[in-house]
Every structure is written in structure tokens, then in C-alpha cells.
């Protein structure tokens, strides 16, 4: 009896904690050139504001033959290699600036960028519940929640989004 109560309590806690406040939405169109931009959105699907940090200083070649454009992103891009997920270093490591962004319930924001490498990838967003416009992103609190995108594949000449 005591064991089943603990199990029920554990399942309840897991179920209530599993509801995400933020979601990363990737377009589900067909395969495209890997050099083309991807246009992920951060969507606040909860009933409270969320805050996340956006890295400035990232640039992407959004249109072939054009100049590089500023493409700030709030995501960590991860690639699967030998069955493990590893962070890709696609942005500026030194000299970048991170600033907080706040999304109110029901709001979304799009962050187009170009990854520039082939592989089995996903995006991860760290965020905090509440409106924290003064959040120090270089010393952000450790209690961040995580949202992950669907996995997607970038090939040498095309992109496919898995659902």
C-alpha cells in the first residue's frame, strides 16, 4: 500500500511537471537546401510570461550571393554523433552579447538563421517562468526549464524536418 502511494505520488509529480510553458516550432515543409534558412519559433503556450536569453552577434548568409545578416538566436544547436547529443559551436564564442527577451502568454517570436553544417540536429531553449526583463544572461539562474525542438536532418544539399 505504501509503495503504491509513493508510486502514484511520483507519477502525479512527473505528469504535472511535464507540461511545458514554451515550445519550439519548426516549419514542417519538405526538404530544402541546407544553406537555406530555418525559421524556428519560440511559442509561449502557457498562462504566464517566459523569459529567455538571445545571443546577439550571430550572423548567417540568409540569401545566396548577399551579405551576411545579423541573426540573433536563443537556441543551443545540438548534433547527434555516435548516439550522443553534442553542442555545435555555430555562433560567436567570444565577444557576443546575450540579452533577455520576454514572451507573454500566447505570444511567439521567430528566429531565422542558417546552421551551415550537415547532421542530425535539434534546438534547445533554456527559459524561466515569469517576466524577467532585467535578467543578467551572463549569470543566469541555474533553475532554467528546457524546451527542445523536433529533431531534423540537414544533408549536404537538403533539409528534412522529422515529426
User: Which tens digits make up the pLDDT trace of 79-134?
Assistant: 898 999 998 876 655 567 889 999 999 999 999 888 877 778 899 999 999 999 99
Q: Cα torsion at 38, 29, 31, 72 (round to 10°)?
A: 0
C-alpha–C-alpha distance, residues 73 and 27, integer Å: 16
Kind plus residue range of the DSSP H or E element containing 9:
helix 2-17
State pTM to two decimals. Answer: 0.78
Strand 159-161, strand 59-60: pairing: unpaired
- List beta partners, residue 9: none
Task: Tell me the average pLDDT of the chain.
Answer: 79
User: Which tens digits make up the pLDDT trace of 24-45?
Assistant: 998 755 445 566 678 899 999 9
Domains of the chain: 20-161 (2.60.40)
Contacts with 39 (C-beta within 8 Å, 6 or more apart), sequence order = 26, 27, 110, 111, 112
Amino acid at each position: 500500500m505504501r509503495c503504491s502511494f509513493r508510486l502514484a505520488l511520483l507519477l502525479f509529480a512527473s505528469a504535472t511537471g511535464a507540461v511545458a510553458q514554451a515550445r519550439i516550432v519548426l516549419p514542417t515543409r519538405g526538404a530544402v537546401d541546407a544553406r537555406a534558412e530555418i525559421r524556428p519559433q519560440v511559442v509561449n503556450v502557457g498562462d504566464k510570461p517566459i523569459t529567455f536569453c538571445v545571443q546577439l552577434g550571430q550572423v548567417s548568409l540568409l540569401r545566396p550571393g548577399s551579405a551576411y545578416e545579423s541573426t540573433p538566436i536563443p537556441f543551443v544547436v545540438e548534433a547527434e554523433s555516435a548516439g550522443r547529443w553534442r553542442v555545435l559551436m555555430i555562433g560567436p564564442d567570444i565577444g557576443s552579447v546575450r540579452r533577455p527577451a520576454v514572451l507573454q502568454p500566447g505570444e511567439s517570436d521567430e528566429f531565422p538563421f542558417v546552421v551551415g553544417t550537415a547532421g542530425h540536429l535539434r534546438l534547445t531553449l533554456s527559459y524561466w517562468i515569469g517576466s524577467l526583463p532585467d535578467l543578467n544572461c551572463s549569470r543566469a539562474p541555474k533553475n532554467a526549464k528546457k524546451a527542445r525542438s523536433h529533431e531534423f536532418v540537414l544533408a549536404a544539399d537538403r533539409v528534412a524536418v522529422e515529426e
